[in-house]
Amino acid sequence: MGIHILVVDDERTITDLVGIYLKNEGFEVTLAYNGADAVKAILSQNFDLAVLDIMLPDIDGFELLRTIRADYTYPVIMLTARDAQQDKIEGLSLGADDYVVKPFRPLELVARVKAQLRRCLTYSSRDEREKDTSIISIDGLLINRNAHTVSVDERLVRLTPLEYSILLYLAEHRGHVVPVEELFSSVWNEEFMQGSNNTVMVHIRHLREKIGDSASSPRFIRNIWGVGYTIEASGSTA
C-alpha cells in the first residue's frame, strides 16, 4: 500500500477536489465530510498524514487533532476559512504541523502535503539525524523507531506491523545472521514450530516487494540458506 491521507471537510466540493488532486499524485485517500466519520476513520485506519478543516458541523478540527495526537505522530495540516492568529496558535499548540487558509489552490495544498511527508521522513541535515538515536539509516533505507515509519530513497513505505517488526529486528542486528527460529520467536512471540519457516518466508517476500528488494539480487535483506536472514552492516544508527 502507498501513502494514506485523510481529508476532512464538510464542503463536499472542496473535499472531493482535494481528493482527486491527491489521488492523481499516487496517494491513497480517505474522505470524511463530518467529524464523526473522521473519528471512526482515525481510530480504525492507518494514515500517514491528515488534512483537517477547523469549522465542522459536529466535531471541530481541533478536537479531531486532539484525537490524532493522543496516539499518532503523523503530520496534520489544518484548513481554515479565517486567517485568525488565535486559530493558528491553538492549532500549532495542539500539534498541527501546517496551516492553509481558504480559499486555496489545490496544487498549493498538494505541495504542502509533500513537504510535510518529506519532513517526517528525514531531517534537514545529517548532524540532526546523528543526534536522534531513533533513526536507523542503511544505504537509503531509513527506519524511524519513534514514528514507526520506513522509507527507501525518501519514499514512504507502508508496512504491516509484522513486516515492520521483521525489518526492525534485522536492522538492529545488521551484520549478523539472524536464525529463522530467533526471528520468528522474537517477532511473533511464539514457539517455533513446523510451518513457522514458511510463515517467515512469506512475510519476508512481501517485505522485500514493498522495499524494492529481491531475493536474487538483494539490496537489503540477504537469505543465508539453511541458517536465516541478515542485513549487511553498512549504515548507521543515528
What DSSP string runs through 22-59? Answer: HHHTT-EEEEESSHHHHHHHHHHS--SEEEEES--SSS
pLDDT band at 238 (very low <50, low <70, confident <90, very high): very low
Top pLDDT among 128 and 24 is at 24
Which residues touch 77 (CB under 8 Å, ≥6 apart)?
A: 49, 50, 51, 52, 96, 97, 98, 99, 100, 109, 112, 113, 116
**Vertex 134 angle, CA 140 and 236, to 5°:** 45
What DSSP string runs through 182-225?
HHHHHHH-S---TTHHHHHHHHHHHHHHHHT--SSS-SSEEEET
Residue 125 pLDDT: 41
Angle of helix 161-172 versus helix 180-188 axis, rounded to 10: 130
| DSSP strand pairing (49-53 vs 76-80) | parallel
pLDDT tens digit sequence for 100-143: 888 889 999 999 999 888 877 654 344 444 445 678 888 889 99
Peptide bond into 161 cis (omega under 30): no
Task: List 149's β-bridge partners, or say none.
Answer: 144
Closest CA to 31 of 13, 158, 74: 13
Distances (CA, A) of 86 to 9, 21, 83: 20, 29, 9
Domain edges within the chain: 4-121, 126-237
| CATH 3.40.50.1580 corresponds to the domain 126-237 | no
Residue 155 pLDDT: 87
Fold of 4-121: Rossmann fold (3.40.50)
31 neighbors 15 (Cβ within 8 angstroms): yes
Closest CA to 72 of 149, 10, 157, 12: 149
Cell readout for 25 is 499524485
pLDDT band at 197 (very low <50, low <70, confident <90, very high): confident
Rounded distance between C-alpha atoms, residue 17 and residue 10, angstroms: 13
**Would you give the DSSP letter of residue 177?**
P
pLDDT tens digit sequence for 134-177: 788 888 899 988 778 899 988 888 888 889 999 999 999 988 99
What DSSP string runs through 118-144?
HHHH--SSHHHHHH-TTEEEETTEEEE
180 neighbors 228 (Cβ within 8 angstroms): yes
Angle of helix 196-211 versus helix 180-188 axis, rounded to 10: 80
Query: pTM of the entire structure?
Result: 0.53
